[in-house]
Amino acid sequence: MANKPTTLILHGLHQTSLIIYPLARYIRRAGFIVHTPNYHSLGQDILAHAKRLDDYLLTHHNPKEPINLVAHSLGGLVVRQFLHDHPNWQVHRCVSLGTPHQGSVCATYVKRTLPFLIGKSYIGALDGTCPNVPKHVAFGVIAGNKPQGLGLPFLNHHNRHYRTQHGHDGAVFLYETELPSATDRLILPVTHTGMLTSSAVASQVVHFLEYGKFRRA
């Protein structure tokens, strides 16, 4: 491929595109054209997020040219919904960062106690019912195992209650990031939010976008 595909990076819950600036800068330096569209993670549902991404692409991208999609947390579920609802786009490769593909235990606890902090992001997304990734799409998964973050009380409670010792990144359990159809999966010593500023994560994202697999030592 002579020219590198335009790459879109999606933020996660309670975030804006500002938080993914370090990652976007790293990917740009690798020679990719990068877009960082925003979406209303609380006020709209997953279907609206996918439609918003489609509308953004219709305005900013030639549908005859391939794209890459990189997404953090909830953003990875938006990508899955987008792939299902708008299959007309030429998606080259995708990478999710800390995305709870199996659903989010933390989000379930928060929904029960502080539902306004979850908004419309639960049904069809964080509840684990997002559409599957089409088999032809190369999809890489990066997860973190550094257990620090705002979700720590909920995750620790869950482990104690069920007498388990599941690893996590402070917001998402490792097993929740598993995607059966993933092309490759990598676990790094980063927190849920820290992965957005990690040069190790950014380097692996670029490697997957270029080669369709993560770099192994």
What residues form DSSP beta bridges with 95? 70, 140
pLDDT tens per residue across span 124-141: 999 999 999 999 999 999
Nearest in space to 184 (alpha carbons), one of 166, 210, 165: 210
Q: Look at the domain 6-211 and name its fold.
A: Rossmann fold (3.40.50)
**How far is it, in rounded angstroms, from Cα 28 to Cα 85?**
28
CA 134 to chain centre: 16
pLDDT tens per residue across span 71-124: 999 999 999 999 999 999 999 999 999 999 999 999 999 999 999 999 999 999
**Domain segments of the chain as ranges:** 6-211
191, 148 in Cβ contact below 8 A? yes
101, 26 in Cβ contact below 8 A? no
pLDDT band at 1 (very low <50, low <70, confident <90, very high): low
> Given a cut of 70, is residue 50 above it in pLDDT?
yes
Predicted TM-score (pTM) of this structure: 0.96
